[in-house]
Every structure is written in structure tokens, then in C-alpha cells.
Structure 1
Amino acid sequence: MSSKTLILVTGANQGLGYYAAQQLAATGNHHVLIGSRDVNKAKKAIETLAADDSVKVSASDLTPLEIDVNSDSSIAAAAKHVEQTYGKLDILLNNAGIAQQQEAAADSSGPSLRDIYRSHYETNVFGAAVVTDAFLPLLRKGSAKRLAFTSSGLASLELAAKPNTLYSANNYPIYRSTKTALNMIMLHYALSLESEGFVVSAADPGYCATNLNGNSGFKDPRDGAKELVKSVVGEKKDVHAVMVSDDGVVPW
């Protein structure tokens, strides 16, 4: 256990985080902390991963970790637990995120536009920033010094400026704006931590069928998770300070 790279994946009980954790653990070189706001869901995910005969994963390489990225106290408690249990963290993958399909209510019967923006930014941006800050002291003690973020090709301003495409800024304005902001946070850490030997990256998994979008995506999340894994363990020259996808580096 001590010789294996210790990785925390937030939002790992389902979707892209689940399959990224599976692929990382399947190498036998990593011990993965399955981050989830509901620890029972993390435990269930581990049971399911261990029972999946299609990809061999040992339950001993997976550990549940309760962490709600919308709660500073939960984040602090998770960081303290990792410190007391392991004394360090090698890799952090900020993967937890939301993408509500709900529009602002025209009256007071539902959430306002401000409420919808706030909920997205709380999870997708503020949550990732606070988690990174809380675990940074442990990452500095780790051997790998890797930090990654699950982003989206929708974050690209260059692609968003092109009309009549899936990437046009006409589509998904709230969700995509959070990922653009997240990319700036990633770049901040990439530049400020590079002198300490860190590798910092973002990943564009593509439009995958997950609970995030009501399983409407056209891409298998197992394939999308490969981009998350690439951002976590890929060569520095290929992933540092950029957003990677299966088509290469995504333009800003």
C-alpha cells in the first residue's frame, strides 16, 4: 500500500470519476480514494468496481472518502483524515461537478437565474478551488505532485465563438462558464506550482453519457475517463498547463 501512488478523485462514486478510478486502480500502481459526499455511495461504488469482471480491480486498492465539495467543513475533515491516515497525497483529481438542466423560473415558483448560476459555481468552481487549497499541503508532501481538473471543451472561448456548432456559445451558457473559470484556476496553479515540481492539467472528456446530462451524451464515459487519466498520469510535456482531449490540446 505504501509503495502505491495515493490518488483522490472527487465525485468518484459515479460517472466519469467512477471510470477514472477504475482505470487508475486497475493498473495495480495506485491506491484510489473514492471521494463522495455520501460515503455509503462511495462504499457501494467500490463493491461494484470489485465485482466488475470486465476490468480487474482489487477492493484493497480503493478506499471511500466522504467529501462534500460544497462544504468547507467537510473538505477540511476529509483533508484531516487523509493527513492522519496517510500523511500525504500524491495526486488530486478535482472531478466533482453539476450541470443542471433547469431554466430560471419566470416567477417566484422556482430557482432564479442567480440561484442557478450560484449552485453551478459553488460546486464546479468554488468547490474545486477550496478542495485544492485544503489538500495542497498534503500534495507538497507527496512524491507525484500532480493536480488535475475535469473541464470541458465547452470552456473554450475559441470554439464557443464559432456559430452553428455544438460548441457555440448559444449552448449551455451557465455550465460552460464555470469550466472556463475552472481552466483559469488550473492555469494559476500550473504556473505558480511549476517551480515546486508540480504537473497541473485539465481534461476535456467529451460529451459522455452520465447522470450529469441525463445520459444524453453520445460518448461512452469509459472513453471519456481515459482523458481524465491522461491528465493525471500523462507526460508533463503533453498535459501541463493545457486542457487535453482525445483530439489533442483544446484551444483556449
Structure 2
Amino acid sequence: MADKLIVLVTGANQGIGLYAAQQFAATGKHHVFVGSRDLAKGEKAVATLVAEGVDKESLEAVQLDVTSDESIEAAAKIVLEKYGRLDILANNAGISSAPGTKRAELQQIYDTNVFGAVIATDAFLPLLRKSTLPGGKRIVFVSSSLGSLTFASDLKGQFPGKLFLQYRSSKTALNMVLVSYASMLDDEEGFVVSGLCPGYCTTNLTNYDGYKDPRDGAKVILMAAEGEKKDVHCKVVHEGGAYPW
């Protein structure tokens, strides 16, 4: 794998993450870890992609639950022992709702969408620092236009701030996380840290109520991961450019 970029996509057994894994692998330039909370589902996802024509040697499943420090550490150890480095980390795992009281729902959403992304990034950062290939040292956070304070403040807009408090506030927090890492790593060894909004896709996250094909949403992950630094670093991008904070 010396000539391929090693990529890890969290929450990649379904939805946008699955298609991002497919599209990374299809380039022939990437070897992709399909992160999945349930390893069996990750292995099934790999088998599905291989059956659809993706090179079997370009994909492998890894158990990764972003709400478990032990799971994250174990996944990082696997990547270290197999390849000694990671080139691209795509923090994709996320949920939009959870059962229980409002406090319980907020705790679960933030645990996955925010805390999990931070702990995973910290765990894989030593491996990302070992990347030497062009196109490496990339960290991507899957955010949302709903996290934009500018959009939320537009009371006559499509999605005013009164809607989706639990989910959208987690994405606002995630935007600060990406800015923090972008600032911390900006001058260190050529890191590029970016966020992205894949759009309102028809996935489990949206209860299959989106208007956009998740394959198209996945393309934005690759765009953020492969774009020029000036276009994507310390920004939340979408197909048309950067969104306001």
C-alpha cells in the first residue's frame, strides 16, 4: 500500500459514508477502511461494494464505534499495525435523533456527532502525521448547512433556527471543532482540515426523506478531501463552494 492513500471513513456501512468509501476505492488511488460500529455490517457493506465492481483489495472493514474510546483506540491500532500510517480521515459518523428525554437525546447526538469526531481525530492524528504521500494529511468533518448561524438567523429562510435544535446545534459545535483543528494544524506539516455539507440526502439519517441521491452527497466528501487547500481548508464546503458560518 506504499503507493495508495490510506483512507478511513467512519459510519461507512450505509448511506453517504458507504458511497464515499465506494468512490474513494473506485479511483484506484485509495485503500479504504470501512468504519462500522457493527463489524458484521461493515463486512456486508464491503461485500456489497465488491459485488458492484469495486476492487476487493481496495476495501476492508474495521470495527469502529465513535462513542467508544476503546473501539476507537482498537481501530487506530489496527491501522498502525497494518500500514503504519493514515492519509485521510473522514469523520462521517452521525445521527440526527435519539430516543429518550431532550437531555438524553442531546447527549447521544453530541456524543456521536461531536465528541466522537474529536476523540477519533485525536486517536488517528499520530498516524496522519506519518503520511508522506501527496494528498495525505487530510481531515474531513461531515457537517451541514443547518449548522450555519448565518442561515439559522434568517427567520424567513427555508430552515430558521427554531427547527431541529438538537441536530443542528451539534453541527454548529462540529464546525468549531474543525476550525480548532484547522488552526492548530495549519502550519504543521501541510495539514488540510475541512468541513462539508453533503446536502439533504435520502439516507437513514433523514428517515429517507431527502431529495438528493446519497451518491451525489458522497462526492462532496471527496471534493473536500481532495480539493486545493485554498478552497477547502477551514471551511464548510458544498457543491457550489463555501457556506457562511
Normalised TM-score (structure 2): 0.96
Q: Map 1:53-64; keep pairs closer than 5 Å.
A: 56-64=53-61
| Structure 1 CA distance for aligned equivalents of residues 16 and 158 of structure 2 | 21
1:247 offset after TM fit, Å? 2.2
**Who is 1:233 aligned against?**
226
Q: Map 1:199-210; keep pairs closer than 5 Å.
A: 199-210=192-203
1:213-251 residue CA offsets vs partner (Å, 9 max, x unmatched): 110011111111111111111111111100000121000
1:49-107 residue CA offsets vs partner (Å, 9 max, x unmatched): 1112xxx42011001110100001111111111111111101100000001176xxxxx
Distance 1:101 1:67, change over 3 A: closer
The root-mean-square deviation of aligned C-alpha atoms, in Å, is 1.0
**Who is 1:97 aligned against?**
94
Distance 1:57 1:227, change over 3 A: same
2:117 to 128, 137, 148: 128
Q: Map 1:112-127; keep pairs closer than 5 Å.
A: 112-127=101-116
| Structure 1 CA distance for aligned equivalents of residues 240 and 6 of structure 2 | 28
Distance 1:101 1:66, change over 3 A: closer
Normalised TM-score (structure 1): 0.93
1:154-197 residue CA offsets vs partner (Å, 9 max, x unmatched): 00000111123322112111100000000101011111101111
| Structure 1 CA distance for aligned equivalents of residues 120 and 227 of structure 2 | 22
1:154 to 138, 146, 158: 146
Corresponding pairs, count: 241
| Structure 2 CA distance for aligned equivalents of residues 166 and 51 of structure 1 | 40
The alignment-based identity, stated in percent, is 54
Tell whether 2:65 aligns with 1:68: yes
| Structure 2 CA distance for aligned equivalents of residues 166 and 100 of structure 1 | 20
Segments of structure 2 that go 5 or more residues without pairing to the other structure are: none
Could you say what secondary structure the match of 2:221 adopts? helix
Is the contact between residue 98 and residue 105 of structure 2 (CA under 8 Å) also seen in structure 1? no
Could you say what secondary structure the match of 1:141 adopts? coil
1:82 to 70, 79, 84: 79
Give structure 1 regions of 4+ aligned residues with deviation exceeding 6 angstroms: none
